[in-house]
Amino acid sequence: MAFTQRHLLGLEGVPAAEITSILDTAASFKEISERDIKKVPALRGKTVINLFYESSTRTRTSFEIAAKRLSADTVNISASTSSASKGETLADTARNLEAMRPDAIVVRHPASGACHLLARHVSCPILNAGDGCHEHPTQALLDLLTIREHLGRLEGLTVAIVGDILHSRVARSNLHALRALGSTVRLVGPPTLVPRDLAAFGAELHTELAAGVRDADVVMMLRIQRERQGANFFPTLDEYSQYFCLTEEAVRLAKPQVIILHPGPLNRGLEIASAVADGPYSVIMDQVTNGVAVRMALLYLLVARSKGEESGETAAEMIGDAEPVRRRTGGRA
C-alpha cells in the first residue's frame, strides 16, 4: 500500500502498510546522503517553508538538509522573526504564507493541534515537526527506521519508553506507530508522568524502571520537559534521576542485544548516564542520520509524488537512482 495522506499531522490511525511504505522509501533515500554530491532533483522548483515557533536543533536542521538534498528552495521562519511577535494569529500567518504559494510547510508549535489548524487554512501539505504534547511523527518514524535497521523487524519487539511520558509528543507518536506495527509498548516513569489513559491505546504502564526495562529489546529514554511542566511532578531532579536515570546497571536488565534510543536533547546524568549514551548499545547518532532520510522520504511522498504522477517518472528516476537504468540496459549505463 502506498502512502496516501495529504498531510503528515500525526501517526494515530495511520495504517501499518503506510508507515512501512514511508520507512521503505526512507531506507532507499539513505544512500543519497553518502554520495559525494548529496543532491537529487526530485523537488527542483519547489519551495519548503520551515515555520518553527519553538527552539529546535536537530529537527529544523534535518528538515532543511532533507529539502536541500532534494533540490527544494527552503525558507526558515522562527517565532522571534515572524509577525507572531506582533500579534498576528497563526491562521493569518498561514494565509499569508499560502499566498506566496509554497509547496509544503513544516511546522513546530508549542500548542497541541496547531498543525491541524494550519492544515485547514492552506492547500499545500503540512508536516508536523512537533505540536505541543501531541505528536512528533517524523521523530517516531526515524526511531522506527533505526529500530528496524538494528533489529531487523518491529513486530514482536518490546519497546520501553521511559521518562516524562505525560508531556512527550515523541512518546505518543511512537506509541501509535509501534502498536500499529505489532510491537509491545511499555510506558515507564513516575506515576505523575505516566497518563493512565494511554493504556487505551494498547500501552503497558510501569512506574518502576527495573520492571519497565526488564527483557526489553529497545529502551527509548525521554527528556524531562521542564518547559511544559506547570506543576511539580516529582520532588527534585536529583530524586528523579535516582529512580529513573538509565545507568549501565539498568541496561543489564534488558535483553543482551538491547538498543538505546533518545530523541535529544540529552540531559546527561539526569535521564541517561553518559556511559550509556556513549556506550555500545546506544544508537542515538544513527537516529539523527536516519532523520534526514525520513524527512526526505516524507517531503518526496507529499510534494514530489504528484509531479511524478503527471510526468510518469518512477520514484527511482526522480531521486536519480542509477540502478534501474543499469538493469534496463543490461549494465551498460
Q: What share of the chain is helix, strand, coil (3-state, %, to 5)?
A: 45, 15, 40
Q: Which residues pair with 128 in a beta bridge?
A: 107
Q: Is the CB of residue 52 less than 8 Å from the CB of residue 78? A: yes
Residue from 139, 146, 158, 174 in contact with ligand NCD (CB under 6 A): 139
Q: How many CB atoms lie within 10 A of CB 108?
A: 26
Q: Does 189 bind ligand NCD (CB under 6 A)?
A: no
Phi-psi region of 113 (alpha: psi -120 to 50; beta: other; left: phi over 0): left
Q: Does 136 bind ligand NCD (CB under 6 A)?
A: yes
Tell me if residue 58 is catalytic: yes
Catalytic residue among 86, 101, 120, 332: 86
Tell me if residue 236 is catalytic: no
Catalytic residue among 25, 47, 59, 146: 59
Residue 82's nearest CA partner among 96, 68, 70, 69 is 96
**H or E, element range at 107:** strand 104-109
Tell me if residue 59 is catalytic: yes
Q: Does 163 bind ligand NCD (CB under 6 A)?
A: no
CB closer to ligand NCD out of 44 and 58: 58
Q: Does 170 bind ligand NCD (CB under 6 A)?
A: yes
| SS3 at position 187 | strand
Question: Are β-strands 184-188 and 158-162 bridged in parallel, bridged antiparallel, or unpaired?
Answer: parallel
Closest contact distance (angstroms) between CB of 60 and ligand NCD is 9
Closest contact distance (angstroms) between CB of 136 and ligand NCD is 5
Total number of residues that touch ligand NCD (CB under 6 A): 10
CB closer to ligand NCD out of 57 and 306: 57
CB closer to ligand NCD out of 58 and 214: 58
Q: Does 130 bind ligand NCD (CB under 6 A)?
A: yes
Radius of gyration of the chain (CA): 20
CB closer to ligand NCD out of 109 and 136: 136
CB closer to ligand NCD out of 16 and 288: 288
Tell me if residue 86 is catalytic: yes
Query: End-to-end distance of the chain based on CA atoms, in angstroms?
Result: 31
Tell me the C-alpha to C-alpha distance, in Å, between residue 85 and each of 53, 56, 93. 10, 18, 11
Closest contact distance (angstroms) between CB of 167 and ligand NCD is 9
Catalytic residue among 7, 46, 60, 108: 108
Binding site for ligand NCD (CB under 6 A): 58-59, 130, 136, 139, 169-170, 223, 263-264
Active site residues: 58-59, 86, 108, 136
